[in-house]
Amino acid sequence: MAAGGQVAHGVPGRDWGSICGMQVRDVIAAVDHLAPFALAEPWDHVGVQVGSPGDELRAGGAAGAAGAAPVVLVALEVDDAVLDEARRLGAAVVVSHHPLIFDPLERLSDDSEAGRLALRAAREGVAVIAAHTSLDKARGGMADVIAELLDLEAVVPLAPAAADALKLVGFVPADDADLVRKALFAAGAGVIGEYEHCSWSVGGQGTFFGRETTNPAAGVPGRDETVDELRIEVVFPRRLRRRVTSTYVAAHPYEEPAYDVIPLDNEIASLGLGRLGALPKPTTLAELAEDVAAVLRLSSVRYSGGAGREVRRVAVLPGSGAEAIARGVAQVADVLITGDVKYHEARAAQAQGLALIDAPHGVTEQEGVLRWAGRLADALGTAASVETFRNAAVAVWSDSGGGATAAASVTAREDAPDEAGETEEVEASAPAPSPQPAPAVATAPAAAAAPAPREGVRSVNRDDDRYHLYTDGGARGNPGPAGIGARLMTAGGDVVEDVSDYIGKATNNVAEYQALIAGLEVALDRGVERLDVFLDSELVVRQVNGRYKVKDAGLKPLHQQACLLLSRFHEVDVKHVRREQNAAADALVNQAIDAATT
């Protein structure tokens, strides 16, 4: 703490704005706390890449309104679209997963794409911080986020990280041991995982003979002395070697303190690349592929292996992780979820009996880093506003098919309650579609394709606005006569378009999804790029956000279609609200049902 109880810069999770304006170093400290840069692979480039740690962060907002919190923008990588968004938001910092500067730059000029973007960021006053393999390995980082989305249990790192640590062994008079320990802890020693002030000691005797020129802390020169001492051991990161050893010497009462520094070959059980876990219960490979597509807001993903093969042990390596096949991941996992899988790698996996799900590199990592942004927001607290940018360009491949999958007709279980919004058990049920034989490498069932924008519709999008969409669906009876309602509004509260349609006999869950789909289609037709969506169905919100799985076969195609539409926005957030906050959409539902049934 600083004088007067104020909080100094660089302490994660504190209100950094209480002393002075927030600085770039504060964001660096928060990122380093969540995804320690020391975890990065030797070849990687993490940390601040553009900007100065001491730069003050300007107020957020396009006009830099006085008193507004500075904006930190989180994105997969830095390109012109991200810098355009930073300028629109008035963001002073971009935190990216992929480093802007990866290959060494011989000169900072427009000759290379990285140089050009770095120059632009510097000219516009935007600092760039990268968290790449450090975020891949970190506790709560990229792999943990994806593992959580898939409901994996008993999750551990697939490849535990090397500790890259040293151990200091010192010999200290018992009366001075506490003082020396405290000094070592203050220097960064004695941290093991989430535990601090870790040390070990045992008593013994030290002997010495001081020459006439010495001034021993115990005994006298020219005589053999024996002193009761404690052997103290602490571990510390290799990068702190000079600080820790110099601190030990300075705190020790002896003129010539004895100590050993021992290299450790330990692994950190809770950190490392990838994650290995188990599904709550076995499922088929095709069903798991559908779940992966859904949490990534994709219509489908490729998989290799029999569609009906039972899988439970799951290895996850977001991004490009096919090298795990050659390292024997088949010995511990039934299926590997990763990206950028080549033909010969897939064939090697087949030979080993390992199933594969090829989740697109950019899409998977973008989903992971944008969800991780919530943890960064928690770490920064009220000192900064953390925003995210979903870049459609990271989905670099397009599908040539474009065929739509019609939603199955649905009926409700007799015991389903009238309002479906809280748990999986209240979903409408439907007969599962007949499984189709899958080739060795196949795609998961595709969602219905989004319609093309209507011709002649004027775009109402503004770069400085974020639109609001309220949707609701309901049935009188479950199932029963059902309607959908949606209202698209500007950020200022002006109504852009209403939807009020009767959809026949359906369940509440089906109506909720169809209302969401209709509202998203209207927003896309109107050219909206940044959207907040509000529903009073907690079930649908949690399913489209990947928190709940969709177990009902009749809802899966609707869920897939909604996720595909959501993926087409540059930035979208789906939120739950109370029913009274969704009154306008609810009124549109009742209006549609009344018009059709009276």
Which overall architecture, per CATH, does domain 164-265 show?
2-Layer Sandwich (3.30)
Give backbone dihedrals phi and psi of 470, rounded to 5 degrees, phi first: -105, 125
The mean per-residue pLDDT over the stretch 137-145 comes to: 94
pLDDT at 293 over 80: yes
pLDDT at 457 over 60: no
| pLDDT at res. 595 | 94
pLDDT at 8 over 50: no
Q: Hey, what amino acid is at 15?
A: D
Least confident of 1-15, 502-516, 555-569: 1-15
pLDDT at 402 over 90: no
| pLDDT at res. 438 | 38
pLDDT at 465 over 70: no
Tell me, rounded to whole angstroms, the distance of Cα 379 from its chain centroid. Answer: 14
| pLDDT at res. 529 | 87
The pLDDT confidence band at residue 194, using thresholds 50, 70 and 90, is confident
Q: Hey, what amino acid is at 62?
A: A
| pLDDT at res. 365 | 96
Check if the beta carbon of residue 406 is closer than 8 Å to that of residue 415: no
Check if the beta carbon of residue 199 is closer than 8 Å to that of residue 274: no
Among 96, 595, 49, which residue's Cα sits nearest to residue 372? Answer: 96
Q: Hey, what amino acid is at 63?
A: A
Percentage of the chain modeled with pLDDT above 90: 65
Q: Rounded to two decimals, what is the model's pTM?
A: 0.70
Q: Assign 199 to helix, strand or coil.
A: coil
Domains 138-160+269-359 and 424-433+448-597 belong to one CATH topology: no
| pLDDT at res. 308 | 94
Quickly list H helices, 229-275. 241-251
| pLDDT at res. 124 | 95
Length of the chain: 598
Percentage of the chain modeled with pLDDT above 70: 84
The pLDDT confidence band at residue 85, using thresholds 50, 70 and 90, is very high
Cα distance from N-terminal residue to C-terminal residue, the chain? 69
Buried b (16+ CB within 10 A) or exposed e, 367-395: bbbbbbbebbbebbeebbbbbbbbbeebb
| pLDDT at res. 341 | 95
Q: What secondary structure, in 3-state letters, does 307-333 show?
A: CCCEEEEEEEEEEECCHHHHCCHHHCC
| pLDDT at res. 49 | 96
pLDDT at 462 over 80: no
pLDDT at 543 over 60: yes
The pLDDT confidence band at residue 428, using thresholds 50, 70 and 90, is very low
The mean per-residue pLDDT over the stretch 398-406 comes to: 48
| pLDDT at res. 398 | 72
pLDDT at 17 over 60: no
DSSP string for 72-131? EEEESS--HHHHHHHHHHT-SEEEESS-S--SPPSS-STTSHHHHHHHHHHHTT-EEEE-
- Separation in Å, CA 472 to CA 247, 421, 541: 63, 11, 12
The mean per-residue pLDDT over the stretch 406-431 comes to: 31
In CATH terms, is domain 424-433+448-597 a member of 3.30.420.10?
Answer: yes
pLDDT at 415 over 60: no
pLDDT at 406 over 50: no
pLDDT at 19 over 80: no
Cα–Cα distance for residue pair 196/185, rounded to 1 Å: 8
A 10 A CB-CB count for 437 gives: 8
According to CATH, the topology of domain 138-160+269-359 is 3.40.1390
Which overall architecture, per CATH, does domain 3-136+369-392 show?
3-Layer(aba) Sandwich (3.40)
pLDDT tens, position by position, 315-353:
999 999 999 999 999 999 999 999 999 999 999 999 999
pLDDT tens, position by position, 221-231:
989 999 999 99
Higher pLDDT, 420 or 122: 122
Domain residue extents for the chain: 3-136+369-392, 138-160+269-359, 164-265, 424-433+448-597
The pLDDT confidence band at residue 584, using thresholds 50, 70 and 90, is very high
Cα–Cα distance for residue pair 118/128, rounded to 1 Å: 8
| pLDDT at res. 401 | 53
The mean per-residue pLDDT over the stretch 282-311 comes to: 91
